[in-house]
Amino acid sequence: MGTGAAPDEMIKKTGLTGDRSTIEAIEAIRNEIGQECSRCSLCSLGRSQVVNSVGNTNARLMFVGEAPGADEDRIGEPFVGRAGQLLTDIIEKGLEIPREQVFIGNINRCRPPGNRAPEPDEAAACKPFLLREIETVKPKVIVVLGATAAHNLLDVKTPISKMRGQFHDYMGVKVMPTFHPAYLLRDPNKKREVWEDIKLVRALLNELAE
């Protein structure tokens, strides 16, 4: 398996950048999902397609959300609606990193009906694939967006309001829980707290780069 930079046609086809070997590893996970995407009930509840993770497969920073919404289900890419634009602003203005240089995914890859949160069994069905992506990408920092993502990755039930503002640990990776961009659209007053969390993430990334 090659380790050089991926050709442009592979990047365009997959929505992934990075070296060839990690892109191929993520593609293998995608293919397995395609073969096993009857693990939970979302397949039969009206979702249009599986919405896979995208971005740089060698990223130092990874974002994990909850599940696709209507726009994501239609387009087939995570965080492309209004919440996605807000996430882009957080990444590019708050962290001064191009969005394509981070890796972005969700706990669940299929849209729950009515944009509800994933049920525990639905999240459990998808979680092994997310964990394998983390093992492949090897990010230095993960930002989990919202309570569903935080609770499922860290196996806790603490309210997100009490988890944010401090780093947690997942298998040696620093994890920062913060509010989901969709929640910020409903309650803009929480944006200040998210920016505070992002400042901590930026400081840690800078420290790790030294």
Instruction: Please give the pLDDT value at position 139.
Output: 98
Instruction: Please give the pLDDT value at position 111.
Output: 84
Domain boundaries, the chain: 8-209
Residue 104 pairs in a beta bridge with 54, 63
**Tokens 């967006």 sit on residue:** 145
**pLDDT values of the chain reduced to their tens digit, one per residue, 210 residues:** 445 655 555 555 678 999 999 999 999 999 988 766 666 665 555 567 889 999 999 999 999 999 998 899 899 999 999 999 999 999 999 999 999 999 999 999 888 877 788 888 888 888 999 999 999 999 999 999 999 999 999 999 999 999 999 999 999 999 999 999 999 999 999 999 999 999 999 999 999 987
Instruction: Please give the pLDDT value at position 1.
Output: 41
Helices 120-137, 147-154: axis angle to 10 degrees equals: 70
Amino acid at 21: S
> For the whole model, what pTM was predicted?
0.91
Domain 8-209 fold is Uracil-DNA Glycosylase, subunit E (3.40.470)
Distance from C-alpha of 151 to C-alpha of 172, rounded to nearest angstrom: 17
> What is the signed CA dihedral for 171, 176, 182, 188, rounded to 10 degrees?
170
Query: What is the DSSP code string of 157-171?
Result: ---HHHHTTS-EEET
Distance from C-alpha of 141 to C-alpha of 64, rounded to nearest angstrom: 11
